Amino acid sequence: MTNQREIILQELQKKKQHLTADELYDIVKKAMPRISLATVYRNLEILSEAGVIGKLEISGRQKRFDYDPEEHDHIYCVVCHRVDNLDIERTDDDTKNMASVAGYTVTGYRLEIVGICDACQKKEVEKEKNS
């Protein structure tokens, strides 16, 4: 684990958010002013491929990197593009019930729910009040 990779990982874990490489670059640059955006991208891909962090590609948007590599689900705000973990209980039966979907052997699944977050809902209510 290189020093750069360690700092990138620490900052991602410290924020406990699903950050884009650009967002993480802005944070890491404060600790390592000479680091390049390409270095951040490359190291995030390496950490993701190694299973140390997760990589999310939601709705064709910019990739986001997840501080928690364990299997879990997400909810995505269609307005501000925020991504949060979704705490839904999973059972072994979930995968068993999908024994063969369209000829596939199901080995796991990832649920991504879309909606509008609290903050965006409140902004919309304020906007309507002021109209």
Structure confidence at residue 94 (pLDDT): 65
- On the question of pLDDT at 60 being above 80, the answer is no
Exposed e or buried b for every residue in 94-111, given b needs 16+ CB within 10 A?
A: eeeeeeeeeeeeeeeeee
Residue 124 scores a pLDDT above 80: yes
pLDDT value at residue 59: 66
Going from N- to C-terminal start, the domains of the chain cover 1-69, 71-131
* Tally: H helices and E strands in the chain: 5, 8
What pLDDT sits at residue 87?
85
Distance CA 120, CA 4 (A): 35
- In the block, tokens 């650009």 appear at 22
Q: Which CATH class is domain 1-69?
A: mainly alpha
- Give pLDDT, residue 32: 94
pTM: 0.77
DSSP annotation of 52 reads S
CATH code of the domain made up of 71-131: 3.30.1490.190
